[in-house]
Amino acid sequence: MKTSLIYSWTAGAVIFLLCCMSAGASKDKASGLNEKLNEISSLQQVLKEKISLAKDKCHLLNEKITTLKEEILDEKERRQIESYRQALEVARIEFNLKLIRLLQGYTARLEERIQYFQTGNETLNFYSQQIKDDLLMIKILNDLEVDKLIARINSVFDEYVPQSREPFFDVNEIPMQSMEKIWNEIANH
């Protein structure tokens, strides 16, 4: 009888300890996931700021391109220019074509970066929602599932955090259209 009482008491103590350990593990998982939610939120704010800044710059560059195109059309009409070769003889037109080519390259790169950061933001939204769902089910999740989720989130951080600190693009790698193509687009518009 004493032996069965000792076994009962021991089994009860083990179950109690397991419950306490499980509650502690759940608490650790929850705090780790909440920390990741905060990190996600911070990175999303940075990405949103980068997107907004890039959109503003694109808008300004597009306005400048429009102004330059209008100048070209005015010169074309004023000087009765009919061909690309004639247009290149006018320094103002040639300069504007070169500048448009450069600005179009800048806007193309900025638009790529906007898309890149928007993709990162959407990915982070997905993981944020997954964390919120997992927090609701934290008691039934095992550590391996939480660790896998955190590892996937960390890989997104590893990609986007350094990119969020870099300039939008390298000015030496700007795609450039031919000036003749730009001229034809403007002249035949």
Q: Per residue in 59-80, pLDDT tens?
A: 999 999 999 999 999 999 999 9
- Averaged pLDDT, 86-97: 96
Q: Give the ranges where the chain is alpha helix by DSSP (H).
A: 2-79, 84-88, 91-136, 143-165, 179-187
Query: Taking Cα atoms as reference points, which of 124, 105, 37, 122 lies closest to residue 65?
Result: 105
Q: Are the C-beta atoms of 110 and 168 separated by less than 8 Å?
A: yes
Rounded Cα–Cα distance for residues 97 and 116 (Å): 29
Rounded Cα–Cα distance for residues 108 and 111 (Å): 5
Q: What is the pTM of this model?
A: 0.73
